Amino acid sequence: MKNVLGSALKSCSYDPMTGAFRDGFCKYSEQDPGLHIVAAKVTKEFLDWNKSRGNDLISPKPQWSFLGLKPGDWWCVCMGVWLKSKEAGYPLYLKLESCHEKMLDYTSLETLKKWEYKE
């Protein structure tokens, strides 16, 4: 698997455990209709906005071994949600080495580099 930079895909997060398959990676799979390929650092504003849209990532869901996200967590976000969050004014910064190369089917590397997280 490769990332948007053309090198080996790196893990996004093990704490919290993320990825469509809860393996820490934002990898592409045809079994994942949500396209959880975007390694993004979530913010309070994003989490509140996403919850208002019906996708509550804040509240724990023990039945799924999900503890809930807090601002600053890294998470594999759906490609469509990331694009919509930017349009809505709640953009998320990215860990490019952990973003699956499939993102390049939807946006350019130049655009992605503008959203690269820098410490």
**CA-based end-to-end distance of the chain:** 26
List pLDDT tens digits, range 78-87.
999 999 999 9
What is the C-alpha to C-alpha distance for residues 90 and 44, in angstroms, rounded to an integer? 9
pLDDT tens digits, one per residue of 59-77: 999 887 789 999 999 999 9
Residue 119: the pLDDT is 79
pLDDT digits (tens, 9 = 90+) for 87-110: 999 999 999 999 999 999 999 999
CB atoms within 10 A of CB 72: 9
What pLDDT, on a 0 to 100 scale, did the predictor assign at position 6? Answer: 98
79 φ/ψ angles, rounded to the nearest 5 degrees? -55, -50
For residue 75, what is the enclosing H or E element? Answer: strand 74-77
> Per-residue pLDDT averaged across 46-50, rounded?
98
pTM reported for the whole predicted model? 0.94
